[in-house]
A and B are shown apart, each in its own frame.
Chain A
Amino acid sequence: MKDAIAEIRSRAVADIAGAGDAQELNTIRVRFLGKKGELTSLLRGMGKLPAEERPKVGKMVNEVRDALENALEDRESELQSQKQEEQLKQEALDISLPGRPYQRGRVHPVMQALEDIKMIFVSMGYQIVEGPEVELDYYNFEALNVPPDHPARDMQDTFYLSDSLLLRSQTSPVQVRTMEQQDPPVRIIAPGKVYRSDADVTHSPMFHQVEGLLVDKGITLAHLKGTLQVFAERMFGPETKTRFRPSYFPFTEPSAEVDVSCTMCHGSGCRVCSNTGWLELLGSGMVDARVLAKVGYAPETYSGFAFGMGIERAAMLKYGINDIRLFYDNDIRFLEQF
């Protein structure tokens, strides 16, 4: 009997090991462990055994049953994982094929530069204001200390729409409009399109400027320098230096042209900065007393600074663009670089 049990066990174990799929395993289970299975049949014949043998043999049969159950289970999970493994293997992809093209849109580089500029000044407490692009001669020139026939009008070749209406040649008229509407203190930046009759690789008949104006008690040239230094560092990187050169604008006194250390060579001199180490960035100055008086601010009490910067120029410096016309050409291949 013992031998028969051992024989069934070894045969079943061999069959289980050789089974190729779940169905085969089931057949094996039925054959050995089913109601009419070999082991079950063996148990039935146990009555013939002596009473003292029966518990021993019963225990043996149970052990074999447990062992076979375990073997079946193990083999089943083994087969399952083999099957999964195979499936996974078959499902392998060419991971080198390109991904599905999800599309990132692009903000125009001029607007990106403007966004940077806005963020910097808003964080310093500046309000963003707007003004009309078709402007009155008065705001574009006269209120800014440039009467008719003033030679400074040549500094900006202006497009006219009528005797008194023009396309603003600078964002500075927004200074005047703001001061007319509001008492000091004033802290604004005014971005927008401006127009000058000029066209080559560095000049566009339409371009963008940001005007800045701060008027309060006790504002000094040192404040202008400090503010623009902070701006330059945030815009072009912490190592950026600024240089203030005396200049002339009819509506600021003193006036300063502001250069930043070359964004390419950081001041050591290269082709971009014509070996000077400096790049012209913006015009600025202390608001002329005549301008303050014209809008009804008392020049004895208040002082202020103003600056105006070309956004394209800043974007060209920041991104290394060498032809301003690219900004308005709307070539997809240009726009997708930013």
Chain B
Amino acid sequence: MLVSFKWLQDYVDIPWTAQELAERLTMAGLEVETVDSLDPGLSQVYTAEIAAVEPHLDADELNVVTVSLGDRVETIVCGAPNVRVGMKAPLALVGAKLPGGVVERRSIRGTVSGGMLCSEKELGLGEDASGIMELPNDVGVGMPLVDALGLDDQVLDVAIYANRPDCMSMLGVAREVAALSEQELRYPQQEFCESDRKVTEEASVDVEAPELCPRYSARVIRGIELGASPVWMQQRLRAAGMRPINNIVDITNFVMLETGQPLHAFDYDTLAESRIIVRRARHGESFTTLDDIERTLTSDMLMICDAEGPVCIGGVMGGANTEVHDATRNILLEAANFSPVSVRRTSRALGIASEAAARFEKGLDPQGTLMALERAAQLLASLAHGEVLQGVLDENAVACTERAIALNPQHVNDLLGTEISLDTMTSLLNRLQLTVDTSDTPWSVSIPSFRGDLELECDLIEEVARLYGFDKVPLEVPTQAVTGGGQSAKLTLIDGVREALVGAGLYEAMSYTFESRQQLIKLGLDHVTPWRDAIPLLNPLNEEFAVMRTTLLAGLLSAAARNANRQQGRVHLFEVGPVFHAASLPLETQPEEKEYLGIVLMGDRLPRYWGEEPQPFDFYDMKGLVELVTSRFSAVPEFRRGSHPSFHPGRQADIIVDGLLVGRLGEVHPDTTTAFDLPNRVLAAELDLRQLTEYPPAVAWYRPLPRNPAVERDMALVLDDSILVQDVLNLLRKSGDETLRKVLVFDVYQGHPVPDGKRSVAFRFVFQGDRTLKDEEVARELKSMYTRVKDEFGAELR
């Protein structure tokens, strides 16, 4: 809410500067976000009096004007139609700063102009550009305009929390200021004379839906002289960020800003049978609001109607049919109280966010209608010469009950950790207009009707703390007994996986967990379960964030593409995060959130450097990383050829643990790289960490170091291309005796002299026993292993 520092002083004396006030309010829970000067930055603009007006000799439409600044005179060339001798107007001298720029000395048709007489618009003070701005006649001549118009004001932008609708008004903020500064609150003038005509004879109000409208108060004012509202009111409205329109509309807005109670003025003469009926809308009923949009209503919306039909959506927006217009002379003025839930739902459903709705939906004080009505009537009578009819139409569905909350003063210090004295507590509460009966413990604190937010003892404790000052609450560290802190084994395992990959030089990425549906199409998964069943958001921010991700691949491939696009061709990223798999769609129960690991590799294995030819990342880099990850767990993975649509059919592997698929890795399918606009081959992997973390972490257990020398032997086998080396390795390992400690592949060769369709695979065997092994023992062992692989795979010694 925008709060004018000057306007606020109508209601309370403020012993502080605007900046100090901002600080005080912030520290009391009304956060002041900015303090801005109201002055649009005018300098060298003065009040001036027109002394003489003579036609310009060389231009029919221009006048040469002599203006007085009191102690000197300037000659100005002016084209405004309203310029006349004796009028007072703002004069921007040469060098003056205006919102549109700096005024320069100019010669117009041979006459040098010493400045510019300005319109409201040129000064940034209003929209009127039809002529120069006419200043009130009692303005002193030669004054800086900023002083003359009271632009030396500051506007505080105050954030009002949802629980304090009472502060969404100048009086509400003033009430807080009064409590903080221990000053008296001044209420605005509400006295006026009513006419002899009785309102009850001119209009009637029936509330048929009291559950949505606890109170409806109205007055009729006749014979209004529609026109501009006075400068002081216009200034206040502008300071609050509202545009002045005419005195009727301005007064309703002004009183809403002043008291927090929204008002609505109906053109009395357009109300059929001068009746107001407050009822629910009929389902499907249509209604044109004053922004000329036709709205379709539902039966939970509250309508203000006349004898014929709707004239206003209660608390949300008025209708075009009864709007105040240029010919309006008589109005029915409404000050009502509406159900916050109903207003909130209606304004959401219709997409109307009005100032009135913003207040009603937070819950206003039903007792506030009369004060606002009386204040508006007073202003209409005094500023627009309205005849206020005798009496108020007041349908009051709720009885005003005094509320009191029990407060045990001991609880205040118990909860705050303070030693606030009882006297201080009562005095702080009193400053907030809360009266405290201390004759018994607990105390009884009576709550004024405008503080609907105060319900429980803890609410009162907060009020005491707020006014006492949070900064006076001491700093203490809890000394209550604790058990050790820490995290679950699962989280520790996942941290271990991240550490391992960071240790291997990868960068940790983080993608949005919702993504475009296009991503699944790009992956070729839009028809494949479970990925296609991505959960849609009902109200996504946009199409880019439409569904919950079912895989990490799309996010990582997009990241790789973005990097490539920015000349970062070397990408080595991993991400740990959830994917979302619904049991069924549309979603009925919470989906499974599975913690996945994704890895993407693209470009060179090492950054370019002078010592080595660059080598691109390949399948075996990715496999090595996956093995690094799985080595953290007691699980032993198997790799089998896979058939995932996003991957190269010949370069992908399913990762199997205990017969269960826990992930996959491979080179990304060329169709997929094209779809993601990736320039190069890309490797990707995805693992279900939730499944892996079911396995306990690999534990360290010391084995004595071997005392006897190891014997190493190599053997190169020629194998059909179709044979998987892993199968040969498995058989070799299985067929060796206990002295065989290790078998590893150290070379793979294809080409002459190895026949086509075959390759030579070189194995290294490490034997070690609890005594020194003899050559012939090792040779016998090797021979028997060779026989096994020869029989099984047709392997030949090379």
Query: Are A103 and B458 interface neighbours, CB within 8 A?
Result: no
Given A332-B570, A335-B507, A162 and B538 touching (CB < 8 A)? Answer: yes
Contact code string B19-47 (vs A, CB < 8 Å = 1, else 0): 00000001111010000000000000000
Interface flags for B591-612 (1: CB within 8 Å of A; 0: not) read 1010000000000001101110
Residues of B within 8 A of A257 (CB): 31
Cβ-based interface call for A38 (8 A):
no
Instruction: Given A126-B485, A222-B416, check contact A133 B513 (CB 8 Å).
Output: yes
A108 to B508, Cβ gap below 8 A? yes
Give residues in A with beta carbon < 8 Å to B.
97-98, 100-108, 110-111, 118, 121-128, 130, 132-136, 149-152, 154-155, 159-162, 165, 167, 185, 187, 193, 195, 197, 199, 205-206, 214, 216-223, 225-227, 229-230, 243-248, 250, 253-257, 286, 288-290, 303, 327-333, 335-336
Please indicate the chain A residues that have their CB under 8 angstroms from the CB of B487 in the complex: 118, 122, 127-128
Query: Is the pair A221, B480 in contact by a Cβ cutoff of 8 Å?
Result: no
A122 touches B538 (CB 8 A): no
| Distance in Å: Cβ of A267 to nearest Cβ of chain B | 14
Query: Do B563 and A248 touch (CB < 8 A)?
Result: no
Q: Are A248 and B161 in contact (CB under 8 A)?
A: yes
A127-B513 contact, Cβ under 8 Å, with A101-B606, A226-B477: no
Q: For the complex, what is the distance from the CA of A206 to the CA of B556, rounded to whole Å?
A: 17
- The reply to whether B470 and A245 contact each other, CB–CB distance below 8 Å, is yes
A225-B474 contact given A122-B485, A257-B31, CB 8 Å threshold = yes
Q: Which residues of A contact B466 (CB under 8 A)?
A: 246, 254
- Total contacts A to B, CB within 8 angstroms? 259
The 8 Å CB contact of A149, one of B344, B459, B483, B491, is: B344
Give which listed residue, A98, A103, A161, A225, contacts B538 with CB less than 8 A.
Answer: A161
A247–B536 Cα distance when bound, in Å, is 35
Interface string of B150-165 (1 = CB under 8 A from A): 0000000000011110
**Within the assembled complex, what's the spacing in Å between the Cα atoms of A218 and B512?**
41
In chain B, what residue has the closest Cβ to A290? B456
Q: Which residues of A contact B502 (CB under 8 A)?
A: 104-107
Report whether A247 and B486 are in contact in the complex, using a CB–CB cutoff of 8 Å. no
Is B27 a contact of A246 with CB atoms below 8 Å?
A: yes
Contact partner of B344 (CB less than 8 A), chosen from A151, A155, A216, A336, is A151
Given A125-B485, A127-B486, A330-B562, is A155 in contact with B610 using a C-beta cutoff of 8 Å? no
The distance from the CB of A239 to the nearest CB of chain B, in whole angstroms, is 15
Q: Contacts A134-B580, A160-B537, A245-B29; is A254 near B474 (CB within 8 Å)?
A: no
- Is the CB of B83 closer than 8 A to any CB of chain A? no
- Which chain A residues border B548 with CB–CB below 8 Å? 134, 161
A121, B482: Cα distance in complex, Å: 12
Q: Can you add 10 more A-B contacts, CB < 8 Å, to A104-B505, A111-B508, A220-B416?
A: A103-B505, A104-B502, A159-B514, A216-B478, A222-B417, A226-B477, A244-B470, A254-B466, A255-B462, A332-B570
A residues near B593, Cβ cutoff 8 Å: 132-134
Do A226 and B538 form a contact, CB below 8 Å, given A149-B344, A151-B361? no
Q: Are A247 and B31 in contact (CB under 8 A)?
A: yes
Segment among B289-297, B430-438, B539-547, B776-784 that sits at the interface with chain A:
B539-547
Taking the complex as formed, is B178 at the interface, i.e. its CB lies under 8 A from any CB of chain A? no
Say whether A219 contacts B478, CB under 8 Å: yes
Give the residue name and chain of the A residue nearest to B591 (CB). A134
Give the Cβ gap from A178 to chain B, nearest Cβ, in Å. 13
Contact with A along B457-489 (1 / 0, CB 8 A): 111011001100011011111101111111110
- The one of A130, A151, A185, A199 in contact with B362, judged by C-beta atoms closer than 8 angstroms, is A151
Counting CB contacts under 8 A, is B327 at the interface?
no
B51 at the interface (CB under 8 A from A): no
User: Could you write out 15 A-B pairs with CB less than 8 Å apart?
Assistant: A103-B607, A104-B505, A105-B508, A151-B340, A193-B578, A217-B480, A218-B480, A222-B418, A253-B458, A254-B416, A257-B31, A303-B414, A330-B509, A331-B568, A335-B573
Closest to B418 in A: A222
B587 on the A face (CB < 8 A): yes
Q: How far is the CB of A291 from chain B (nearest CB, A)?
A: 10
**CA separation between A110 and B509, bound complex, in Å?**
10
Taking the closest CB of chain B, its distance from the CB of A167, in whole angstroms, is 7
* Contact yes or no, B606 A103, CB < 8 A: yes
B34: nearest residue on chain A (CB-CB)?
A274
Does B510 count as interface, using CB distance less than 8 angstroms?
yes
| Cβ–Cβ contact A246 & B491, under 8 A | no
Contact flag A187-B485 (CB < 8 Å), given A105-B505, A286-B458: yes
Which of A103, A111, A219, A247 touches B29 (beta carbons < 8 Å)? A247
Residues of A within 8 Å of B609, CB to CB, are: 98, 100-101
Check if B417 sits within 8 Å of A221, measured CB to CB: yes
Contact status A289-B507, CB under 8 Å: no
Q: How many residues of B contact A (CB 8 A)?
A: 95
Q: Scan B671-697; emit 1 where CB is below 8 A from any A CB, else 0.
A: 000000000000000000000000000
Q: How distant is the Cα of A125 from the Cα of B476 in the complex, in angstroms?
A: 16
B residues less than 8 Å from A136 (CB atoms): 590
- Which of chain A's residues have a CB closer than 8 A to the CB of B559? 329-330
Q: Smallest distance from the beta carbon of A68 to chain B beta carbons, Å?
A: 47
CA distance A218 to B410 in the complex (A): 12
Cβ contact within 8 Å between A105 and B503: yes
- A118 to chain B: which residues have CB within 8 Å? 487
Interface centre among A244, A246, A333 (most CB of B within 10 A): A246
Nearest 6 interchain pairs by C-beta: A222-B417, A220-B417, A103-B505, A246-B29, A105-B502, A248-B161
Distance in angstroms between the alpha carbons of A102 and B26 in the assembled complex? 52
Which residues 38-67 in B have Cβ within 8 Å of A in the complex?
Answer: none
How near does chain A come to B674, taking the closest CB pair, in angstroms? Answer: 21
- Check if B341 is an interface residue, CB within 8 A of chain A: yes
Q: A134-B591, A243-B471, A290-B456 are in contact. Are A151 and B162 (CB under 8 A)?
A: yes
B interface, over-half SS:
loop
Residues of A within 8 A of B486 (CB): 122, 127-128
- The reply to whether B509 and A335 form a contact with Cβ atoms under 8 Å apart is yes
CA distance A246 to B462 in the complex (A): 8
Which chain A positions have C-beta within 8 A of B787?
none
Interface of A, secondary structure class, is mixed
Asked if A286 meets B415 with Cβ closer than 8 Å, knowing A134-B591, A227-B478, A230-B477, the reply is yes
Are B483 and A125 in contact (CB-based, < 8 A)?
yes
User: What are the interface flags for B481-525 relative to A under an 8 Å C-beta threshold, 1 for contact and 0 otherwise?
Assistant: 111111110010000001001111111111111100000000000
| A97 to B: closest C-beta gap in Å | 6
CB of B775, distance to nearest CB on chain A (Å): 40
Give B653 Cβ to nearest chain A Cβ, in Å: 24
B27 contacts which chain A residues (CB < 8 A)?
245-246
Chain B residue with the shortest CB-CB distance to A220: B417
How many Å from the CB of B511 to the closest CB on chain A? 6
Cβ of A214 and Cβ of B478 under 8 Å apart? yes
Q: Nearest CB to that of A111 among chain B residues? A: B508
Within 8 Å CB of B541, what residues of A?
Answer: 159, 197, 199, 205
Q: Is the CB of B514 within 8 A of A206?
A: yes
Encoded as 1 (CB less than 8 Å from any A CB) or 0, chain B from 246 to 268 comes to: 00000000000000000000000
A47 to B578, CA, bound (A): 104
Residues of the B chain whose Cβ atoms lie less than 8 Å from the Cβ of A205: 512, 514, 541, 545
Contact check, B568 vs A108: say whether CB atoms are below 8 A apart: no
Complex formed: what's the CA distance from A214 to B248 in Å?
A: 55
A130 to B: closest C-beta gap in Å: 7
Is B535 on the interface with A (CB-CB < 8 A)? yes
Contact of B461 among A149, A165, A254 (CB under 8 A): A254
**Contacts A216-B478, A289-B456, A331-B562 given; does A248 touch B512 at CB 8 Å:** no
Evaluate contact between B511 and A223: CB separation under 8 angstroms: no
Find chain B residues with CB under 8 A from A243 CB.
471
Q: Is the CB of A288 within 8 A of B458?
A: yes
Smallest distance from the beta carbon of A125 to chain B beta carbons, Å? 3
Q: B566, A331: Cβ atoms under 8 Å?
A: yes
Residue numbers in B under 8 Å from A289 (CB-CB): 456-458
Q: Specify which chain A residues have a CB less than 8 angstroms from the CB of B540 in the assembled complex.
A: 159
B138 interfacial by beta-carbon distance below 8 Å:
no
A136 and B587 alpha carbons, distance in the complex (Å): 12
